[in-house]
Structure 1
């Protein structure tokens, strides 16, 4: 019978007895000049001494570690930075010895054991009575029960991340992933902190649904495994010159590429694992059109649409293939960049065209998970409530009929913010008191329940990091406050894009102001095709730069409210999608205006350009405004106190 103790040193860098450290260093004949060196070893040497103390007790026979196999060594402790694992027999005597070692270490070094982050684990053959005795000896080292919200964070941040290295290389057996998911489901629903048991009110598959659709957003390990293997598949496509790619190419697909490769004869387990993600990669990969020479019109994926990347065709005698009318708009909306050179395979589901595990998992989920598990409701409103996470988790359980009650959707959708908070906190407290009555035989007092709910809300809100909120006057003057004073002769140009889905069009708006913030000239442009937001914003930036150059302005600032577009222009070579090509064209235009800079601004500061973009739908092609139109004229009356 063995137990394992996980120990964390509290503030290891800040807490140290300098006399102790000096004595240790002199004992080791170690001389340090300067304060920085002392800080570097302030944790290293005390932990080394703790290791020596444990080894001493093990040599005396008062502690026994865990033997790793028949001929393997005994392990009494493992250390990494300020985290420690101690192994000993599950007896009161050995736990007393370990407790004494830790107490002596604390007194000598000045450091302290963080009991809040320390825990104890027992082997399966240790009975409950002995577990309780040992936990009491260690003074609070036990498995503390987390709230459902805490369990959620622990599962997502730790448990589901642990096998990620293996899942990026090998396909895990379905039986193993099923067993792991059963364990995670039991852990989340577990009502007994000591034995980890409890009724599982919902299947794991239903809990893996997105939070906006009624689930908890947990990951299916099997789908995550495929998505992570897809990362290796993407390397075979994007980095064909690496040694791994050359070996696999020579062995498994010598006469083609990875997307056309087959399992082959006598494949290795590694290749079986990689090829299992091939179909997912195929479904998310398409061609970015350059000169078009390497893409077959009907036989390769190249349309910029989420549903289907292949054009539909109709066979007509004798040997004609006609495009269906439904695909004409899709073809017209797909960007083509002959100047960019060769065609390139990209991942459709990320803005930069490069594969990501997150987007691949979302694609796999949409293709695999049962849509009948989705539950209608105002789930987004529920998760946005300004209440503690444990209360949101409780409300989710209630709304999923795991408590049950569905009147909550009316509360979160049709009542004011203050009422929502009071109702949600009180319901959570009532449920907590109900559990105390059923399991601990407590008798709650209604008035005390109300006070406890109010106290819990006050405590949580006091420690919550709240962002500074603007007053109504500040909101009204958003455009004014977004203005920065400029030197004489320097202009500011704001640009924005608006999208009209019904007309399958998009509008661009841009406005030039002088260094006083006064209107100089504006422009509205209407374009056919309705592309992604980022592509539309980049097209607007490119058009604005060309227009500024035509007008003869040499110094100024160009502002956009699309951060992704601004970031794409600033990060050369990292984006291989259509968005990346547009960003490179914007960089080329910006290089011709060396005294111009591009910066991101909040949307409310870009209101004038947005209004001009929306007005573009009233014109056939484009319109130049020499005077500010009535619908934005009021935004140019800037009080002197607003200028910065």
Structure 2
């Protein structure tokens, strides 16, 4: 799943280091460690409702008890039968199995066992869990930055398990998002307070003017799509074999249909499969399964532009018709004759396998071509909200400056207030009046001008004295708008200066609220300002510039290979036009050059692809030159990590 080794080791230590002790007559016995591992023993057994099969089930369970040393807990076991079973037969089964009877199982392993027409009613327990969690927190003791942490670390994880199996109704996702939004802005899930930004803005990335909250609908689709990918890439698993036997026994997953009265799990998988039909791309093997005009097989998803009349005339419909299967190369003359020059360029950049591999669907949003929920979520967000995002307001800052903004050492509450300043989301009096509130428009600090975000933090005399007396020594009176100030300051400031600015913004807002709600004293002494900024920024006030660190010296020395092994160094250079050149050199443990070679190709889609092609070419030459024990070395870390 991609967890770092340190995390895996931590979890395994929790699993393997546990010890048990049994109480016997009120006294704890010597402890012992379990050695059978973890297991989930809650099972559902299906059988016909007759005594013969009930006795067979009992025999199987008895055999399991003798073999495993475990005992079935009959007090926690239950029996449920169809409505068509007569009452006397039901009583006989209950007496034989010696378990309690229930009308039906509501949940199994936390998931509903029966899903009817009303999906909202069935999955309403997910919303109830979120509501209880949000309602249990004390909103008065949490800052908005603290609420953000709780939402991301706790609340967003609650529906994940159910969302990984079923598509929840849109209305249910909207209700959860509404509760989360109310909690974030007001602290109370049942109270409708002013929400200063739409949920869509909050779900944007932090590097795109948002806060990175999850869009639950998009996340739900991305999670369920993982099941589709498992079935496609692991057809030998029990899950894949069951679905294939029921829904596409005579075909493949790509052409699977909904079927007659399908399970909701299968319906959910099919509803998420559009991700791969629109975002997946074919990795070319022999090209026999790929339709030239209707399948996604060109890099970056570019369309195929060519003459359909010529394709019909030459009998070209599959990608395999464009490949010379003897030389394992493209039929350049045919490709150049049928397709537009731009399409020809993209086709020729696709490397062909040297062996007769089959065509496979890959996920181009990841480096290794395997689907993951994170990349799927980004893709779904881009597709579902693309039109809406394009019509919405542009981010206040470009992505590189937002990255700089969030990586500072300032406290989270300072960053949150600074984010609202940059995004113009603070409840200043000018904004409140625009929302229909009858408030005094004048600045409560200076009482000279209308209180806007720009006035409060830049043009107000108190703010100007504040910034000039701060460790930043800013002269902000030269700016005429908030946009001008942000554009100049953010590009010139280093991380420490930006952290101090975020702390200063928080201090100004804190001072303003003290004036409004507590009749505080202004202006704040400069010494207090400096002390407050230093504490909130978590940075020394005496040094507001970062001293550049010297770049580490790169060791260009060549390491000897072990005795009896040859070292082959290879590299690739890719031009902006797509042309690529390879080079290699082979040396023994004494450093003596035994062979060298170079190669030139016309097309490569990317630098990493050029490095991969150079690696393949190097292995081919090593075999041809008779080197059998070879250590390959490259300077491309990305290739090494694949």
The answer, yes or no, to whether TM exceeds 0.5 is yes
Secondary structure of residue in 2 paired with 1:313: coil
TM-score by length of 2: 0.58
In structure 2, the CA distance between the partners of 1:546 and 1:390, relative to structure 1 (3 Å rule), is farther
Match of 2:574 in 1: 499
- Is the 1:290–1:338 contact (alpha carbons within 8 Å) kept by the matching residues of 2? no
Structure 1 residue 387: Cα displacement:
2.7
- Of 624, 633, 640, which residue of structure 2 is paired with 1:559? 633
The answer as to 2:370 corresponding to 1:357 is: no
Secondary structure of residue in 2 paired with 1:298: coil
Q: How many Å separate the matches in 2 of 1:435 and 1:513?
A: 72
- Is the 1:495–1:559 contact (alpha carbons within 8 Å) kept by the matching residues of 2? yes
The answer as to 2:537 corresponding to 1:457 is: yes
Structure 1 residue 423: Cα displacement:
2.4
Q: How many Å separate the matches in 1 of 2:512 and 2:153?
A: 31
The answer as to 2:334 corresponding to 1:311 is: no
- Is the 2:208–2:402 contact (alpha carbons within 8 Å) kept by the matching residues of 1? no
Secondary structure of residue in 2 paired with 1:301: coil
The answer as to 2:382 corresponding to 1:366 is: yes
Structure 1 residue 177: Cα displacement:
0.5
The answer as to 2:579 corresponding to 1:537 is: no
Q: Which structure carries more relative contact order (alpha carbon 8 Å, separation 6+)? A: 1
Match of 1:377 in 2: 397
Alignment of 1:142-291 (within 5 A): 142=138, 145-190=141-186, 192=187, 198-291=193-286
Structure 1 residue 254: Cα displacement:
4.8
Q: CA RMSD in A?
A: 4.3
Q: How many Å separate the matches in 2 of 1:509 and 1:439?
A: 72
Alignment of 1:394-543 (within 5 A): 394-403=417-426, 404=453, 405-406=482-483, 407-443=485-521, 445-446=524-525, 447-458=527-538, 472=550, 475=552, 477-480=553-556, 494-501=569-576, 503-508=577-582, 525-543=599-617
Secondary structure of residue in 2 paired with 1:276: helix
- Is the 1:289–1:338 contact (alpha carbons within 8 Å) kept by the matching residues of 2? no
Offset from partner CA, 1:79-110 (integer Å, 9 cap, x none)? xxxxxxxxxxxxxxxxxxxxxxxxxxxxxxxx
- Is the 1:509–1:524 contact (alpha carbons within 8 Å) kept by the matching residues of 2? yes
- Is the 2:611–2:639 contact (alpha carbons within 8 Å) kept by the matching residues of 1? yes
Secondary structure of residue in 2 paired with 1:188: helix
Structure 1 residue 438: Cα displacement:
3.1
Match of 2:111 in 1: none
Offset from partner CA, 1:185-238 (integer Å, 9 cap, x none)? 222223x57987642111111222233332222221111111112112223323
Secondary structure of residue in 2 paired with 1:287: strand
Q: How many Å separate the matches in 2 of 1:177 and 1:498?
A: 49
Match of 2:112 in 1: none
Structure 1 residue 328: Cα displacement:
0.7
Flag structure 1 segments of 5+ consecutive residues without an equivalent.
1-12, 14-20, 38-70, 72-119, 125-130, 132-140, 462-468, 569-644
Q: How many Å separate the matches in 2 of 1:517 and 1:430?
A: 66
TM-score by length of 1: 0.58
Secondary structure of residue in 2 paired with 1:345: strand
Structure 1 residue 327: Cα displacement:
1.0
Q: How many Å separate the matches in 2 of 1:532 and 1:453?
A: 47
- Is the 1:211–1:380 contact (alpha carbons within 8 Å) kept by the matching residues of 2? no
Offset from partner CA, 1:282-339 (integer Å, 9 cap, x none)? 1122322222233333343322x1234x633323279436333321111111222140
Q: How many Å separate the matches in 1 of 2:254 and 2:623?
A: 45
Q: How many Å separate the matches in 1 of 2:218 and 2:514?
A: 39
Structure 1 residue 242: Cα displacement:
4.3
Alignment of 1:599-638 (within 5 A): none
The answer as to 2:342 corresponding to 1:344 is: no
Q: How many Å separate the matches in 2 of 1:495 and 1:379?
A: 35
The answer as to 2:386 corresponding to 1:386 is: no
- Is the 2:179–2:189 contact (alpha carbons within 8 Å) kept by the matching residues of 1? no
Offset from partner CA, 1:416-457 (integer Å, 9 cap, x none)? 444333323222222233334434444362331321111233
| Higher strand proportion (structure 1 or 2) | 1
- Is the 1:298–1:313 contact (alpha carbons within 8 Å) kept by the matching residues of 2? no
Aligned residues: 438
In structure 2, the CA distance between the partners of 1:333 and 1:442, relative to structure 1 (3 Å rule), is same
Q: How many Å separate the matches in 2 of 1:530 and 1:262?
A: 38
Secondary structure of residue in 1 paired with 2:173: helix
Offset from partner CA, 1:486-539 (integer Å, 9 cap, x none)? 7799876554444323x1223445567887999999766543223344332222
- Is the 1:289–1:336 contact (alpha carbons within 8 Å) kept by the matching residues of 2? yes
Q: How many Å separate the matches in 1 of 2:305 and 2:554?
A: 48
Structure 1 residue 362: Cα displacement:
1.4
In structure 2, the CA distance between the partners of 1:532 and 1:161, relative to structure 1 (3 Å rule), is farther
Secondary structure of residue in 2 paired with 1:294: coil
In structure 2, the CA distance between the partners of 1:425 and 1:315, relative to structure 1 (3 Å rule), is same
Q: How many Å separate the matches in 2 of 1:520 and 1:146?
A: 69
